[in-house]
Structure 1
Amino acid sequence: MSKNTHRLDEKASGVYIIAATPFGDDGELDLYSIDSLTDFYLEKGVTGFTILGMMGEAPKLSESETTTVMERILKRVNGRVPVVVGVSHSSNRHVQRLSNEAMSLGAAGVMVAPAPNLKTDEQVHGYYAGIANLLGKDIPICLQDFPQSTAVHTSVAVIHRLIDEFPQVVMLKHEDFPGMRKLTRIRKESEAEGRRRISILVGNGGLFLPQEMLRGADGAMTGFAYPEMLVQVCKLFADGKADQAEDLFNIYLPLLRHEFQYGIGLALRKETLRRRGAIRSAFVRKPGPALDGTDHEELTRLIARQDALLG
């Protein structure tokens, strides 16, 4: 098994790619494509991986398939970069079991979204506190703040409280929408109050990446099919070249925005990855979207325009 040579910590930055889960045209796991996709992401220079996220179709996997995907990717990565495993589930015991399994296989930490139907700050805090206590101090935690999917609002006050109470909370995946003022508040209030600074990586397909980097984000945790753009943009920001970063981002923006569409975005992402040779099939497991002829033509045109602009 892969050695756990990385531990997720507050200094994490760069691009943690949200890995797609490849299936064959028959809907079964494609182990060959898991390997080729892992190699593709590494070749494009990603800082880390996040596997079994919502765009990784984790809820559509059986328990044995979940283990297979974890084992396969962690073995292929072989300690070269940190791997965060999504462990969100309605059962706390399942979160605990999956977290322990992930860490034993060499994961750097786990990502947890709140359970559905939490309505108040106390409920959200209580949920995360229960998970943190259940997992213990040795498992680094990334909080996933994605209310568009969970319908749970995690307030700035709750995030601060969790940071203060649980040293294992080392990262926030920021996906509130609109949420840039939230990002600014977390950074400014933390600094003003002398709070521990945690890593903030942003999602939402990277749609607002330049603005979020200028507001204090440390990088991206998303799955755009051109990860090299995310890598280059984050590096340019780190080098103090914000205008160059945004100019590069803008070339890719039409395709990134297209891939961000709810409902069909994952099918577009997988088809683009297939066209780039990263996976053999663009199959999205049911229930899930499939592209029609017009969708394919549209994607072809957007890719051609992007290629022309890149020269």
Structure 2
Amino acid sequence: MVSNDQAAWWQFRGHAVHGLCAGDDPAQNPQVKERPALLLVHGFGASTDHWRHNIPVLAQTHEVHAVDLLGFGRSAKPAALSYGGALWRDQLVAYVQERIGRPTVIAGNSLGGFAALAAGAALGDQAAGVVLLNAAGPFSDEQTASPGGWGAIARRTIGSALLKSPVLQRLLFENLRRPATIRRTLRQVYIDKTNVDDWLVESIRRPSLDPGAFGVFRTVFDIPRGQPLDELFAHLQAPLLLLWGIRDPWINAAGRRSSFQRHAPENTTEVVLDAGHCPHDEVPDQVNRALLDWLAARVGENTLDPQPAR
């Protein structure tokens, strides 16, 4: 068994990418080899650490990977990169092809959900499934509306004019990475605050101290919209699971769910949870169970019964 905190460093386009690999080696365990690998993708400002309550459980039955997107976590934060969905899509596609090398279910939260869907569509039959947890990204019929995602949240909160000032951006960044601000923000988006603990706060604060972190932060307000979700759905060949934290205060979860229902492929599975923006960390036992049940039903595995994380 590989420890769930064993780093799996990798290079993408010459930049260091941090990841984790956990679970039995499929080359040594034929039962694991028959199941798809899992790749977990964090949201904006988070990292592989945000899957702390999921990896130990899922790794009991699967080969599990988690990766820090470029610009986040322990991965490199180079100033010259054009951050956005295309970069992160290509990073995930390359990770599956080069590091995993077999069919993979990609699960992503928020911004990571958009990247996971884009990668799943691009991978074709190399994607064994896609799981979206309160995913970001626009639909075609929203393209003329106000942009969504993290930039829109910031604009509503702060104002577009202020965000154009490098000095004010720096002041905002310094405030947002204060432990008290991180904790307050997390408590706004978790309905059950139990898991908003010192460890989680520090896991978000630590990467913000990296030299390139401010440069990445400045780009978030100008990240391209990326390909519309409905176009990505049209290209997706793999089964799709939508996991909703339906009380998400950062998005209109009920309205967004309706949009997904209009555009998602037939036979998409939905699970609605009484949680906020990050259900995988707020109600991890429910998310782990839903994911494993879906794998058993949709990806053709035998019923799995791992032990809860806590």
Of Structure 1 and Structure 2, the greater helix share is in 1
Q: Structure 1 length normalisation: TM-score?
A: 0.31
TM-score, L = length of structure 2: 0.31
